[in-house]
Amino acid sequence: MSAASLICDLGREFYRLGWATGTGGGICIREGEAVTIAPSGVQKERMTPEQMFTLSIDGTIISRPADPSLRPSECTTLFMAAIRHRQAGAVIHSHSINAMLATLLFEREFEISDLEMIKGIEGMSYHDRLVVPIIENTARECDLAVSLEAAIVAYPRTQAVLVRRHGVYVWGRDWQQAKTQAECYDYLFRAAVEIRKLEGAVDASLSSRPAESRVRR
Amino acid sequence: MSAASLICDLGREFYRLGWATGTGGGICIREGEAVTIAPSGVQKERMTPEQMFTLSIDGTIISRPADPSLRPSECTTLFMAAIRHRQAGAVIHSHSINAMLATLLFEREFEISDLEMIKGIEGMSYHDRLVVPIIENTARECDLAVSLEAAIVAYPRTQAVLVRRHGVYVWGRDWQQAKTQAECYDYLFRAAVEIRKLEGAVDASLSSRPAESRVRR
Amino acid sequence: MSAASLICDLGREFYRLGWATGTGGGICIREGEAVTIAPSGVQKERMTPEQMFTLSIDGTIISRPADPSLRPSECTTLFMAAIRHRQAGAVIHSHSINAMLATLLFEREFEISDLEMIKGIEGMSYHDRLVVPIIENTARECDLAVSLEAAIVAYPRTQAVLVRRHGVYVWGRDWQQAKTQAECYDYLFRAAVEIRKLEGAVDASLSSRPAESRVRR
Amino acid sequence: MSAASLICDLGREFYRLGWATGTGGGICIREGEAVTIAPSGVQKERMTPEQMFTLSIDGTIISRPADPSLRPSECTTLFMAAIRHRQAGAVIHSHSINAMLATLLFEREFEISDLEMIKGIEGMSYHDRLVVPIIENTARECDLAVSLEAAIVAYPRTQAVLVRRHGVYVWGRDWQQAKTQAECYDYLFRAAVEIRKLEGAVDASLSSRPAESRVRR
């Protein structure tokens, strides 16, 4: 399957998962020096391969869709930051409500440990403390690029950056790893939210499990 | 795709999203002076193009389905209010439980700010205070027309009107924008409900995020 | 579509909705004096028309599947109670977790009013108090028949009977009305559960809406 | 349908249910002495029959996929423990968040009673106390084998073992029973979590139901 077709296929899947509603979210796929990227502001579950752009890593447009009204995704500079700094083969941007709510539970870093799904993240094992930096949202998506790049540099082990009250960027060496990691992070964000709800309701009974196995904050 | 086929397609999608169960909810699409509209009281996920009505903007029936037992949707006068006052190209009525629950959290206006999905609403940016008027429900759907029209006039920037303990009406310049906006509003209603649940459970820890970034009430 | 095919189609849909997992739940459809009914203990999302039974209203088997290991659904006597007492054209049994949780919130009757989806129930309008009797569960499904029948007689306006810690039986004059009503009830059960969660968390702010519009208990 | 095709089909279904995201979860099917098993670390919703391994019950590889980079699932020794000790015809491993959250509510054993879905578990009736042992998670999946095997031996009636902060293993005499039981257990885990949320919020009103029908802890 071509990168263009795959992006359309994944767009439908991410829409169904609630990661790409309201034209939000998206994915880019890199093959060598060419990056295939979706247009801005279109319904992510109804894209066709003919609507895709191909850009070089420096952002130059290599090929573009016939429809002159289309522009490359507003995420382009953000996607390119992960590609340049991490040699990412694919970058996923999700508007999942789990990611957004997780940014309300932590100040500067999302932290969690001792959950099996942590093992789905590159270089992490079960007992490791998984940290995801949270950057503040900006009025325009392109203005996020500076702080996203700074977070990528400051957290050399992270495979994702959360954006407060917005969502998350996740990458990987190829689209399979990017998607797998995006699913693991989304599970972990949701787990943190659900655990918080249960703790609020029933502190006493939850504290009966060993202290060391609790979610750290 | 014809407007009639598109309405059937979107009906299946809205049903899957929980916006149109129990024959509730619906959508109309305007092309010039002709408005395509579904029949009343049918299963929204099993409609066929032959069941659609076409009305002029003043409500006159231009064409009707062969089945004489069908009547135009009870939402018709409500749909027409948004079309006349806002030149809407499409109007969506959703029974999403997120919209219904959101009307229980606010008195006269749903309010939220500082969430990325706000940017999906026409004319709104991230830091803006998004306001959606809430009108009181009535025993008969057609009796909502007066207060819906009043809310549309009183809130010239809104793209939606909530109906207490019922759901929401959302419109847009075309079906794509109406659908995109309906998805963004639904996310925002759900976000408000989920944030309220987390606040109830864990006030102290949530207040550690900057006060100015909290959902305003 | 034949009743046998329709039952298979609806089985897949009810499975997807979480009403018929673990081989639970089910539906029967009556045409005149013949009732088409699924076998007991099969995966409801993988049934085929050849597996269906046809029974007369008194419970006599008119036709049966070739597979001799199949027996008619354990719900049979319960389905027949609604058919005989209410001339139901179809009866749906759902294991929805919304229905089960709703039975934990009320003692003998589920009660709700002032929600739009109430209008989807035969004979009910928006301000009416919708009551659904709750019967106690029994170790064997067939032992429910006596109390289900008693509840149907004692509540002549109800279109459904809840079973404590189990699920719900819903019927209608035909399969369309039975399905529509099952969707409306399921929404109302879920609404009651969600409202309870919000009330527990935030009593003060919720009481700011008019007292008369609150869910009555 | 061959066991290899069925595993691919069920992989898509378990992915959709949230049991097998992030390449987690899985299923094996035994036919006589041959066990068909998926490869490790692949997307469970995109598997093809050509990727499957066949092993004998002692763990010897009978046939393997052409792709030399594939290894058998890390669950293999765990699957084999249930096959050897219980003559299981299929074993399902789920990463469902319901199972994971349920392990946070109980110390050594998940316990529940008086819920209809308990009847979906082999040998259990409605009033029985359903117990599922919880074993502690380990850094490597294969290191779970010893404690899983010990739990299977110590709980001769159980059809499942929960793994703290990880998920659950469920088996059955054939794939149909394994899947049915996995669905029933998942419902019960979710029910326990939801009931806990409601109890935290509204202790007083919940206690109005008979004490003997409450979830025991």
Decide if pLDDT at D210 tops 50. no
Percent of chain C, pLDDT > 70?
Answer: 92
Mean pLDDT of D172-196: 98
- CA-nearest of A185, A144, A189, A190 to A163 is A144
pLDDT value for B141? 79
Chain A residue numbers with beta carbons less than 8 Å from the beta carbon of B179 are: 43
C180-203 mean pLDDT: 89
**Which residue's structure tokens are 């004490």?**
D211
- Segment C53-91, tens digit of pLDDT: 999 999 999 999 999 999 999 899 999 999 999 999 999
Those of residues 35-64 in C touching chain B at CB distance below 8 A are none
Rounded to an integer, the average pLDDT of C180-190 is: 98
| Closest to B147 measured CA to CA, from B135, B156, B132, B134 | B135
Is residue A134's pLDDT more than 70? yes
Candidates A80, A86, A88, A117; CA nearest to A192 is A117
At residue C32, the pLDDT reads 96
pLDDT value at residue C208? 37
Q: How many beta-carbon pairs below 8 A join chains C and D?
A: 76
pLDDT of A203 reads 42
pLDDT band (50, 70, 90) for residue B64: very high
What does the pLDDT average to over B41-48? 96
Residue B115 banded pLDDT, cuts 50, 70, 90: very high
DSSP assignment string, C5-21: HHHHHHHHHHHHTTSS-
Identify the pLDDT of residue D206.
Answer: 38
Q: Is the pLDDT of residue C217 over 90?
A: no
Q: Which two tokens stand for residue D176?
A: 């149909």
Interchain proximity B202–A196, CB inside 8 Å: yes
Q: Chain C residue with minimal CA distance to B20?
A: C183
- Which chains does A contact via 3+ CB–CB distances below 8 A? B, D
Residue B210 has pLDDT above 50, yes or no: no
Question: Could you tell me what percent of chain B has a pLDDT over 90?
Answer: 88
Q: With an 8 Å Cβ cutoff, is D153 touching chain C?
A: no
State pLDDT tens for residues B175-188.
Answer: 999 999 999 999 99
Please report, as a single letter, which amino acid is at residue B7.
I
Mutate which of A48, A104, A169 to disrupt the B interface (most B C-beta within 10 Å)? A104
- pLDDT at site A201: 57
At D80, phi and psi to the nearest 5?
-65, -30
Average pLDDT of the segment spanning B168-175: 98
Answer whether D105 sits within 8 Å of A205, measured CB to CB. yes
Asked if A101 lies within 8 A of B195 by C-beta distance, the reply is yes
Q: What is the mean pLDDT of residues A17-36?
A: 96
pLDDT of A200 strictly over 80: no
Tell whether the model's pLDDT for residue D216 goes beyond 50: no
- Does C23 touch chain D if contact means CB atoms closer than 8 Å? yes
Q: How high is the pLDDT of residue A216?
A: 33
pLDDT of the residue at B199: 84
Distance, in Å, from the CA atom of D118 to the CA atom of B67, rounded to the nearest integer, reads 47
pLDDT at D119 over 80: yes
Which of B120, B126, B200 is the closest to A24 by Cβ? B120
Q: Please determine, for residue D214, whether its predicted confidence score (pLDDT) is greater than 80.
A: no
Rounded Cα distance, C106 and C104, in Å? 6
pLDDT tens profile C109-158: 999 999 999 999 999 999 999 999 999 999 887 789 999 999 999 999 99
State the average pLDDT over residues B57-77: 95
B131-150 pLDDT, tens digit per residue, is 999 999 998 877 899 999 99
| Nearest CB to B22; choose among C125, C184, C200 | C184
* pLDDT band per the 50, 70, 90 thresholds, residue D200: low
C180 touches chain B (CB under 8 A): yes
Mention every residue, 6+ apart, whose C-beta is less than 8 A from residue C27: C7, C10, C11, C14, C38, C90, C91, C92, C93, C175, C178
Chain D residues near residue C193 by CB distance under 8 angstroms: 194, 198
How far is Cα B74 from Cα B143, in angstroms, rounded to an integer? 10
**Residue C119 phi/psi, 5° resolution?**
-65, -15
Kindly tell me if the per-residue pLDDT of D209 is higher than 70: no
Question: What is the CB neighbour count within 10 angstroms for residue B45?
Answer: 16
> What pLDDT does C200 receive?
64
Under the banding of pLDDT at 50, 70 and 90, the label for residue D142 is confident
Chain B residues whose beta carbon lies within 8 Å of the beta carbon of residue A217 = 205
pLDDT at position C118, please? 97
Average pLDDT rounded to a whole number, residues A146-165 = 97
User: What is residue C35's predicted lDDT score, i.e. its pLDDT?
Assistant: 98
Confidence band of B200 (pLDDT split at 50, 70, 90) = low
Provide the angle, in degrees to the nearest 10, between the axes of the packed helices A175-206 and A3-16: 20
Closest CA–CA distance from residue C188 to any residue of chain B (Å): 9
Instruction: Give the CA dihedral B141, B142, B147, B152, nearest 10 degrees.
Output: 100
- Which positions of D are catalytic? 116
Q: Which residues pair with A92 in a beta bridge?
A: A27, A170
Higher pLDDT pick, B15 / C209 = B15
> Which residues contact residue B123 at a Cβ distance below 8 angstroms, ignoring those fewer than 6 apart?
B157
Nearest of A213, C103, C186 to residue D210 by alpha carbon: C103
ipTM for this prediction: 0.92
**Test mutation, A17, A21, A96, A196, chain B, max B CBs within 10 A:** A21
Interface size, chain B vs chain C, as Cβ–Cβ contacts under 8 Å: 76
Look at A114 and D101 and tell me if their CB atoms are within 8 Å.
no
pLDDT for position D143: 87
Query: Percentage of chain B surpassing pLDDT 70?
Result: 92
- A145 versus B140: the higher-pLDDT residue is A145
Copy the structure tokens of residue C56: 């007369």
> Is A217 in a helix, a strand, or coil?
coil
- Whole-structure pTM value: 0.94
pLDDT digits (tens, 9 = 90+) for A44-84: 999 999 999 999 999 999 999 999 999 999 999 999 999 99
What's the confidence (pLDDT) of residue D140? Answer: 83
Site from A1, A117, A170, A189 to mutate, D interface, most D CB atoms within 10 angstroms: A117
Q: How far apart are the first and last CA of chain A?
A: 42
Residues of D in contact with A205 (CB under 8 A): 105, 196, 217
CA distance A207 to chain D (A): 9
With cut-offs at 50, 70 and 90, classify the pLDDT of residue D141.
Answer: confident
Assess C129–B contact: CB distance below 8 Å, yes or no.
Answer: no
Check residue C143 and give its pLDDT. 87
CB contact under 8 A, C181 and B22: yes
Q: How confident is the model at residue C190 (pLDDT cuts 50, 70, 90)?
A: very high
What is the mean predicted confidence (pLDDT) over D20-45? 96
- Which of B24, B101, B105 lies closest to C117 in CB terms? B24
3-state secondary structure of C198: helix
> B199 at the A interface (CB within 8 A)?
no
Least confident range of A129-133, A179-183, B205-209, D81-85: B205-209
Taking all residues of chain C, what is their mean pLDDT, rounded to a whole number? Answer: 92
Return the half-sphere exposure (C-beta side, CA atoms, 13 A cut-off) of residue C17: 28
